[in-house]
Structure 1
Amino acid sequence: MLKAIIIDDEPDCVQLLALQLNEHCPQVQVLAQLTSPEEGLRAIRNLEPDVVFLDVEMPRMNGFQLLEQLDDIPFSLIFVTAYNEFALRAFRFSALDYLLKPLSVSHLTEAVRKAEKRHRIDQRQLDLLRFQLKEGQYPSKIAVPFQTGVVFVELKELVYCEADSNYTKLFLSNGKNYLLSKTLREVQEVLEERNFLRVHRQYLINLDHIKMYHKGDGSYLVMTGDVSIPVAKNQKDRLVQKFGWL
């Protein structure tokens, strides 16, 4: 049984989330429903929850300021937000779980499933998220969660991404690679505005790492590390738009 606390300054949102958890997530026991961030902070310290559902924007003390009051974050954290698409990309960059208002039952059950695995929050993930939301720009890194923690990958070192069923393999210029529990489409949504391009149904590339382009029926790119990446016919025009030299 997961012990949960809900902290959101909107009473209707708190009540709705509690009702949905009760109906769709029987493994979750809601210990407290709070609309005051100060009361939420006290509840976290006193009740020691397994998971906290936390609104980002609240009066007097926002979600980040609340977390700064804690010496440690030993619980799973799920942000609840009504942010726009840019901000949602920020959550994806930081690999932090979030629920978008109005709440979706399927997203809620998936977030709870992840919370059951008790992945520990890395402070750098919060710093990454806060930087994007505050500065309104993308960072130079992306957080990649794995079984025992989180690794932070410099985007300039990421050569290409390869689809692997419901996962994505990330290949770096230093020869390292990581397996991300996201589909390539999800990764594309995060990186497509950071000089990355989907050139094939199976590949997303970093345009800065292209070394050579081979034309013909079987067009392909040679990337850093001399890796060959096929180019789909319907993606050639997008390369032309990016470079103008094909």
Structure 2
Amino acid sequence: MSITAVLIDDEQNNLDNLDRLLTQYCPEVEVIGSATNASTGRQLIATQHPELVFLDIQMPGETGLQLLQQLPSLDFQLIFVTAYDQYGIQAVKFAAVDYLLKPIDPRELQEAVHKAMLRHGERSRNAQLENLLQLLQRQPFKEEHRIALTTLKETRFLQTRQIIRCESDNNYCYFFLDNSEKILVSKPIYEFEPLLKDYGFIRCHQSHLVNLQHIRSWIREDGGYLLLNNGDTVPVSRGKKEAVLQALGF
């Protein structure tokens, strides 16, 4: 099985490097074109109809995210290739869209390509990419944003207000929802703290992240802990106590 791909990055040396890595480590990927700017990249996607697109986020003039917003359809798999601190990476993580960090690790490249080919083979709609575009278009309306949570069986899309709290389980994380459901997500809790902090969540303990909207009360006994609307109790570490009390208005 093979898959056709186009590469879009504003630096030619990055395109050359990615092409070389794909040839060496992912021979199932057939590169059918490349572009050094968003305008040419958009034309390339329209004319070549690739099954997979590798796209840089931050490009001069028009970003990769803006390129996506101008496309009439999203009938391809997508892998972002970007630097960790570039604009837009938080939105990409929030939507659980695949991305590779520069410099590219060959093993991560192989894994991303493998997942893209599986999704392509299933002929399923690119729900993560659709969610990312909705997220970008509705930036001021945070109550409508949906975070994508990847479990072992599926990717769930949840509005942040549905999440009561998160609890660490080594390299996994449990999400407790307002319908009493409990979801195990295959990422550690520290990856969700920066994604959820702007949605009213606070890290009250090394192992706990809590939605402030679901806190019923602050209990002063036993050094202090949180009582949530669903009856759960959550510890507050000594180092986080001041920040938690401040967030609660004390």
TM range (shorter): 0.7 to 0.9
2:168 matched to which residue of 1? 163
| Displacement after TM superposition at 1:104 (Å) | 3.0
Instruction: Classify 1:210/1:9 alpha carbon distance in 2 versus 1 (closer, same or farther; 3 Å).
Output: closer
1:125 matched to which residue of 2? 131
Provide the TM-score with structure 1 as the length reference: 0.78
Percent of aligned pairs sharing the same letter? 29
CA contact (8 A) 2:205 2:235 kept: yes
Moved over 6 A (4+): 58-61
Which residue identity is paired with 2:232? Answer: V
In the alignment, the residues of structure 2 paired with residue 181 and residue 2 of structure 1 have an alpha-carbon distance, to the nearest angstrom, of 28
Instruction: Classify 1:193/1:69 alpha carbon distance in 2 versus 1 (closer, same or farther; 3 Å).
Output: closer
Q: 1:3-22 maps to which residues of 2 (within 5 A)?
A: 3-8=3-8, 10=10, 11-22=12-23
Q: Say which of 202, 205, 215 aligns to 1:200.
A: 205
1:64 matched to which residue of 2? 68
Report SS of the residue matched to 1:192.
helix
2:157 matched to which residue of 1? 152
Provide the TM-score with structure 2 as the length reference: 0.77
2:191 matched to which residue of 1? 186
Query: How large is the RMSD of aligned CA atoms in angstroms?
Result: 3.1
CA contact (8 A) 1:78 1:98 kept: yes
Q: 1:81-120 maps to which residues of 2 (within 5 A)?
A: 81=82, 84=85, 87-100=88-101, 102-105=102-105, 107-118=108-119, 120=124
2:26 matched to which residue of 1? 26
In the alignment, the residues of structure 1 paired with residue 61 and residue 30 of structure 2 have an alpha-carbon distance, to the nearest angstrom, of 23
Which residue identity is paired with 1:179? Answer: L
Instruction: Classify 1:113/1:221 alpha carbon distance in 2 versus 1 (closer, same or farther; 3 Å).
Output: farther
Which residue identity is paired with 1:187? Answer: F
CA contact (8 A) 1:144 1:152 kept: yes
- Alignment pair present for 1:176 and 2:181: yes
CA contact (8 A) 1:210 1:223 kept: yes
Listed as ranges, the gaps of 5+ residues in structure 1 are none
Report SS of the residue matched to 2:79.
strand
Q: What CA deviation, in whole Å up to 9, does each residue of 1:110-164 have, x standing for no partner? A: 43353354274116313234326xx478563212234565432111221101112
Instruction: Classify 1:104/1:217 alpha carbon distance in 2 versus 1 (closer, same or farther; 3 Å).
Output: farther
